[in-house]
Amino acid sequence: MIRRRMFAAFCFLVTLSFATLGYAVDLKELKKDVDEGKAVLLDVREEVEWKKAHLTKAESVPLSSIATDKHARKAIEKYTSDPDLKIYTYCQSGRRSVLAADMFKRVDAKVTPIKQSYQELLDAGFKQTKDTDPMYDPPIDMN
């Protein structure tokens, strides 16, 4: 009996690990889509991380702000009005972007998580806005 439970748990973990691996997003293609307005990047890192630095064309939607279906639906509704717009989430390492995409899927929004790291996005050519940039004008109240 114990062996069967251990085997079942092992199978579940293996299945879960394969499900979360998924496919990596082609960052060069993504950059092209973002530049052409065919895709939007949602930064699901928290506000303090956003204020320090973020991808220039991204919009802030902190993971903590979409914890309930009601909040997730409200946060995503302005992006789902265009059925051709591709919606992507990103974070520092890719883990939170997967969680956020799952939260949006619960409210029937098609969102693709970027599992690559923030640094990989920068390496792919995405521009970054930092709080040390002289032209930095954060969309979030700094007070």
- Going by C-alpha positions, the residue among 57, 24, 61, 27 that lies closest to residue 42 is 61
Q: Tens digit of pLDDT for each residue in 65-95? A: 998 999 999 999 999 999 999 999 999 999 9
Does residue 5 sit within a domain? no
| DSSP assignment letter at 98 | H
Does residue 10 sit within a domain? no
Please give the residue range of the domain that contains residue 98. 24-130
Q: Tens digit of pLDDT for each residue in 19-59? A: 444 568 899 999 999 999 999 999 999 999 999 999 999 99
Q: Tens digit of pLDDT for each residue in 108-135? A: 999 999 999 999 999 999 999 987 766 6
Does residue 84 sit within a domain? yes
Entry pTM: 0.77
Q: Can you give the CATH number for the domain in which 103 is found?
A: 3.40.250.10
Does residue 32 sit within a domain? yes
Long-range interactions of 30-33: CB distance < 8 A, separation 24+ = 30/88, 30/114, 30/124, 31/124, 31/125, 31/126, 33/86
The counts of H helices and E strands in the chain are 6, 6
Does residue 3 sit within a domain? no
Does residue 142 sit within a domain? no
Q: How many domains does the chain have?
A: 1
Does residue 2 sit within a domain? no
Does residue 19 sit within a domain? no
